[in-house]
Amino acid sequence: MPLADEPAPGLPGVSPLPMLPVADLSGRILGLGAGERLVLVGIGLDGIGPYLDASEAAHSLLVLRIAGRRSAAAILDGLLDDLADLALARWPDWQNPQNAPTAPEPHGPWLKAAAKHAAAGRPPRFRRAAWSLELAQLMRAVAPSGLVLVAELDPAAPERAAPVIEVLEWCRRHGTAVAALFPSAPPPVPPYDRVLYGARAVQRPPAPVEARFLAPPSRAHPASAVEKRVEAALRADAELGPLFSGNATVPLPRFGTRPRVDLLWAAGRVVVELDGPEHRLDPTFSADRHRDYELLAAGYLVLRITNAQVETDLQRAVEKIRDVVRLRRTSEGAMIR
């Protein structure tokens, strides 16, 4: 039976929000005009970065700094500090009004004092000045074509969201474009109801299947294509996949050794070794036989399969491993799960 499309993320008890395709996200945010507001549900600051395209920017963008600031006054004071730091970094480009012909005329006394501060290497902040004056003048210095202020709001903590909303609305009334981001839908109650009018849900394409699939990390030796093939074949096998780990060590206290084996079923005490041509000749051949003796004396069954057998008939090699596993499970009446 076909399934209905998943509804757009909306607000509890409210009709689904209109959708904004993620492809249109950059143009809508960066194209906001003075005093305009955009509220997006279903995306946060971490999510918008990949979609912002500076070539679409009609205005500058600044992310509002919130961390460590609990009151609206503290958040706004921090915003003005940030703008003053940016103004200092851009000195002396904003000193002359003709450098920003589209911006409002500068306030003469502020411009004179700000230029003096900047020339001395100090950010042009004046604590006794009206915040509205500072915002207007600093925006003119930093973003003469206009500024978009972006902030992420906590949809589950009204007490944390309230001062941010207050700052966004204050800045919007004083000519700043604002974009409010909600990672998930907030309830339509105060203080959220102040900004939810006209909100849109961000519509993102589904993640490709590769991004939604997590395979366990390979433990095969990175230089051994044969080990990787056998490991992959075992993982795909419902019976054998949960049993074996690759490139594992086996503690042998009696002999004081910890040999590393290609494949190990620890609970069943079964070892599988995959041997290349070098294992046919001494001293490797003799060392292998001695290690087999130690493993056998410690209660392990050892199955050796050559690389050539894996390369010519991988499924037959898997069936050999299955036979040894079933032998171990049934031998002497012991049922190992």
Task: Please tell me the pTM assigned to this model.
Answer: 0.62
**DSSP reduced 3-state for 320:** helix
CA–CA dist 106, 140 (Å, integer) = 8
The answer to whether residue 12 sits within a structural domain is no
**Strands 60-63, 177-182: pairing kind:** unpaired
CA–CA dist 153, 178 (Å, integer) = 12
Are residues 189 and 78 part of one domain? yes
Are residues 236 and 318 part of one domain? yes
CA–CA dist 113, 123 (Å, integer) = 11
The answer to whether residue 218 sits within a structural domain is no
Going from the C-alpha of 297 to that of each of 142, 254, 293, the distances in angstroms are 78, 9, 6
List phi, psi (to 5°) of 289: -65, -40
Mind listing the pLDDT tens digit of every residue in the chain (337 residues)?
344 444 455 565 566 889 999 999 999 999 999 999 999 999 999 999 888 888 877 789 999 999 877 899 999 999 999 999 999 999 998 866 554 444 455 568 888 999 999 999 999 999 889 999 999 999 999 998 899 999 999 999 999 999 999 999 999 999 999 999 999 999 999 999 989 988 999 998 887 887 777 767 778 777 788 999 999 999 999 999 899 988 899 999 999 999 999 999 999 999 999 988 888 888 889 999 999 999 999 999 999 999 999 999 999 999 999 999 999 998 755 545 5
- The closest alpha carbon to 186, from 306, 44, 328, belongs to 44
- The closest alpha carbon to 58, from 94, 106, 26, 14, belongs to 26
Are residues 188 and 51 part of one domain? yes
The answer to whether residue 166 sits within a structural domain is yes
Are residues 247 and 194 part of one domain? no
Letter string b/e over residues 298-308, b meaning 16 or more CB atoms within 10 A of that residue's CB = bebbbbebbbe
Are residues 234 and 198 part of one domain? no
Are residues 154 and 49 part of one domain? yes
List phi, psi (to 5°) of 89: -65, -25
Strands laid side by side in the 301-306 sheet: 245-249, 260-265, 270-275, 301-306
Are residues 126 and 72 part of one domain? yes
CA–CA dist 11, 16 (Å, integer) = 7
CA–CA dist 202, 196 (Å, integer) = 14
Please count the structural domains in the chain: 2
The gap from C-alpha 76 to its chain's centroid, in whole angstroms, comes to 29
The answer to whether residue 220 sits within a structural domain is no
Are residues 25 and 167 part of one domain? yes
Are residues 237 and 196 part of one domain? no
The answer to whether residue 1 sits within a structural domain is no
CATH number of the domain residue 296 falls in: 3.40.960.10
The answer to whether residue 250 sits within a structural domain is yes
Are residues 203 and 234 part of one domain? no
**DSSP reduced 3-state for 127:** coil
| Full residue range of the structural domain in which residue 68 is found | 19-208
